Chain A
Amino acid sequence: MTVDPGFSRDRRRERLFFLGLAAPAIVIVGLSAAVPVLWILRQSLLTISGEATFGNYQKILSSDLTWSSLGVTLALSSSTLAICLVLGLPLALALASASRRVANFALILIMLPLWTSILVRTYGWLVLLRRGGLVNATLSALGFIDQPLPLVYNFTGALIGMTHYMLPLFVLPVYAAMRDIDGNVVRAAASLGAGFWRCVATVILPLSAGGIASGSTIVFVYTLGFFITPAVLGGGKVNPIAIRIERTLSTFQDWSGASALGMLLLLLVLIAGCAFVAIRRLAGERVRHA
């Protein structure tokens, strides 16, 4: 039976049609996301008068402000990740061991902050963390402190805000990985004599390593570019790269400098992303042959 020549022509026409369907989305994203980023790259290599140069990079890389903001960025991201691990792992474990109904309800509560405007959330934290705010009032009423703690308009405030933002995004993949663990494997560990914490350490955590890796990647890489939270809760004292970029652009009108910093951020994101993927691969292998 020979294939009808019209058949493959129709197939090709159909494929073109579908390509056409995807075209608007691709064009919009291409023009509005890819082009601007490429433009930043271009801008970073131009002087004010439009000549090609590496001068912008020289300038920002030799500036102390750049390096300190890099330090702040990494400090914020690592600290956020650390706290997310400490707070998120017990939460995910509790959810994974609860019944589906309870877990689903809790998940809605956890997801609620994600749906709330980031401005609303940062405002809530401002209110809570101020000198006269609820947290300080409660702590002093309970007698833990004599003087109100400076919890906001500083690194601590920014950290709290960022952790609050990223925690739901961390918990989700970890929870999913823990849910997937075969209940019988945990029972087997118990029957073999493992106590609760031993079981968590030797069975549950290794088996959720994939989810933990995903969650960690999301937290670290996302927070590298954070702007709003450190801006509002940092009180002007916490200046990660994103704020440096805004400062360079708006205060100094230095498009080229801002672009160079932007490229630096992009580089940072790419390195961090690759690093986490590599760690994940290595971790996967090591655990196998423990």
Chain B
Amino acid sequence: MLDAYRDSKFSRAFIWAVASLVLLFLILPTLIVVPLSFSASDLLEFPPKQWSLRWYEAFFGSAAWMAALKTSLSLGVSTAVIAVPTAFLAAIAINRLGRPFAGGVYGFLLTPSVTPGILLAIGLFIVLAKLKLIGSFVGVLIGHVTLAIPVAVVVLQPAVDRFDWQQTQAARSLGAGWMRVIGGIVAPQLTISLVAAALMAFLTSLDEAVISIFIASGANTTLPKLMFISLRDQIDPTIAAISTLWTVLVAGVVLILNARAQDA
């Protein structure tokens, strides 16, 4: 776009300098944590003078952290398992039912994403407190699924809209009922998007902190909640190890999604 200003070297260099600094600003916190996680000292010195795996050992060896990890992983998987099919069917409904319905429902399903997390958290807190579900797995799960559904819908809707629905007409003319069509014809062709939605739902749950802080407690404390508590108290380098593992996990997910998108 700016080829006409190829010669404004100073201006363009300025823009690129600012852009590079901003880019650095964006990735620095994520990257800085990685070498720290391998530091032998607990003083958070950078660069680390001695290397060690002690913080990883601390993480995997701690009953509290492991319990939180287990809880978060189970929540993540459960969230994906519930949110993705639900969002998928809703996306299909939005596509098939068209105009007046579609806009309203789509907007409605997106509201948990737009509502400040703190409001959902205290609202759920009050409701779940009355139902005596505070501190329960189910309670937190409800919150996570609510947050994951909009994410899954946003991922799935374009794929559902792009799908060639004439195939379903063909299938139905051959006698197949709708559920069979959705399960046997639509879903298999949208596998990539479904996997992407599942990964996004999983990550949404894994990362979710605000609702967990209010509702998850005791045996069902999530990893983010425990991290939050630790961070508020002191800067435990164990968190560096957790952060590194997290970054590696996310990078892996992004690469997988990217690779599969290339194949598609």
* Chain A residues within CB distance 8 Å of chain B: 14-15, 17-19, 21-22, 24-26, 28-30, 32-37, 39-40, 43, 87-88, 90-91, 93-97, 106, 108-110, 112-113, 115-128, 130, 132-134, 137, 164, 167-168, 178-179, 181, 183, 186-187, 189-191, 195-197, 199, 222, 224-225, 227-228, 231-232, 241-242, 245-246, 249, 255, 258-259, 262, 265-266, 269
Q: How far is the CA of A94 from the CA of B242 in the complex (A)?
A: 34
Q: What are 8 contact pairs spanning A and B, CB under 8 A?
A: A37-B123, A91-B23, A94-B19, A128-B32, A130-B44, A224-B116, A225-B117, A262-B118
The answer to whether A18 touches B30, judged by C-beta atoms less than 8 angstroms apart, is: no
A44 to chain B, nearest CB (A): 10
Residues 22-48 of B, flagged 1 when their CB comes within 8 A of A and 0 if not, give 110111111111001000000111100
Q: A164-B26, A228-B210 are in contact. List 10 more A-B contacts (CB 8 A).
A: A21-B90, A33-B112, A113-B26, A120-B246, A124-B31, A126-B231, A242-B118, A262-B118, A262-B122, A266-B116
**Which B residues between 212 and 246 are near A, CB-CB below 8 angstroms?**
213-214, 224, 227-228, 231-232, 235, 239-240, 242-243, 246
Q: How far is the CA of A113 from the CA of B36 in the complex (A)?
A: 18
Residues of B within 8 A of A241 (CB): 118
Closest-by-CB residue of B relative to A233 is B231
The answer to whether B32 touches A32, judged by C-beta atoms less than 8 angstroms apart, is: no
The answer to whether A119 touches B16, judged by C-beta atoms less than 8 angstroms apart, is: no
A26-B108, A127-B36 known; A18 vs B235 contact (CB < 8 Å) = no
Interface of B is mostly: helix
Segment at the A interface, from B4-12, B59-67, B187-195? B4-12
A137 to chain B, nearest CB (A): 7
Cβ contact of A21, chosen from B11, B19, B31, B93, cutoff 8 A? B93
The answer to whether A225 touches B19, judged by C-beta atoms less than 8 angstroms apart, is: no
The answer to whether A195 touches B8, judged by C-beta atoms less than 8 angstroms apart, is: yes
Cβ contact of B119, chosen from A26, A37, A186, A196, cutoff 8 A? A37
The answer to whether A29 touches B123, judged by C-beta atoms less than 8 angstroms apart, is: no
The number of chain B residues touching the other chain, given as a range, is: 35 or more
Cβ contact of A33, chosen from B111, B126, B203, cutoff 8 A? B111
Q: How far is the CA of A34 from the CA of B124 in the complex (A)?
A: 10
A94-B19, A112-B27, A167-B26 known; A28 vs B119 contact (CB < 8 Å) = no
Specify which of B19, B127, B235, B250 lies most central, judged by the most chain A CB atoms within 10 Å of its CB.
B19
**Which B residues between 59 and 96 are near A, CB-CB below 8 angstroms?**
86-87, 89-90, 92-94, 96
Closest-by-CB residue of A relative to B112 is A33
The answer to whether B1 touches A137, judged by C-beta atoms less than 8 angstroms apart, is: no
Residues of A within 8 A of B126 (CB): 36, 39-40, 43, 255, 259
Closest-by-CB residue of A relative to B14 is A90
Residues of A within 8 A of B123 (CB): 33, 35-37, 39-40, 262
* Chain B residues within CB distance 8 Å of chain A: 1-5, 8, 11-12, 15-16, 18-19, 22-23, 25-33, 36, 43-46, 86-87, 89-90, 92-94, 96-97, 101, 105, 108-109, 111-112, 115-120, 122-127, 142-143, 145-146, 149-150, 153, 178, 203, 206-207, 209-210, 213-214, 224, 227-228, 231-232, 235, 239-240, 242-243, 246-247, 250-251, 253-254, 258
A36-B123, A118-B209 known; A110 vs B26 contact (CB < 8 Å) = yes
Q: How far is the CA of A232 from the CA of B29 in the complex (A)?
A: 14
Residues of A within 8 A of B214 (CB): 246, 249
Residues of A within 8 A of B18 (CB): 87, 90-91, 94
Query: What 4 pairs between A and B have smallest CB-CB spacing?
Result: A225-B116, A36-B123, A124-B29, A94-B19
The answer to whether A124 touches B33, judged by C-beta atoms less than 8 angstroms apart, is: yes
Residues of B within 8 A of A91 (CB): 18-19, 22-23
Q: How far is the CA of A224 from the CA of B118 in the complex (A)?
A: 10
Q: How far is the CA of A40 from the CA of B224 in the complex (A)?
A: 25
Interface of A is mostly: helix
Q: How far is the CA of A95 from the CA of B87 in the complex (A)?
A: 33
B220 to chain A, nearest CB (A): 17
Closest-by-CB residue of A relative to B226 is A119
Residues of A within 8 A of B124 (CB): 32, 36
A21-B90, A127-B36 known; A33 vs B29 contact (CB < 8 Å) = no
Specify which of A32, A109, A186 lies most central, judged by the most chain B CB atoms within 10 Å of its CB.
A32
Cβ contact of A134, chosen from B8, B32, B87, cutoff 8 A? B32
Cβ contact of A118, chosen from B16, B94, B207, cutoff 8 A? B207
Residues of A within 8 A of B250 (CB): 112, 115-116
The answer to whether A186 touches B4, judged by C-beta atoms less than 8 angstroms apart, is: yes
The answer to whether B33 touches A187, judged by C-beta atoms less than 8 angstroms apart, is: no
The answer to whether B118 touches A225, judged by C-beta atoms less than 8 angstroms apart, is: yes
Residues of B within 8 A of A34 (CB): 111
Closest-by-CB residue of B relative to A241 is B118
The answer to whether A40 touches B122, judged by C-beta atoms less than 8 angstroms apart, is: yes
Cβ contact of A25, chosen from B90, B96, B117, B239, cutoff 8 A? B90
Residues of B within 8 A of A119 (CB): 207, 209, 224, 227-228, 231, 239, 243
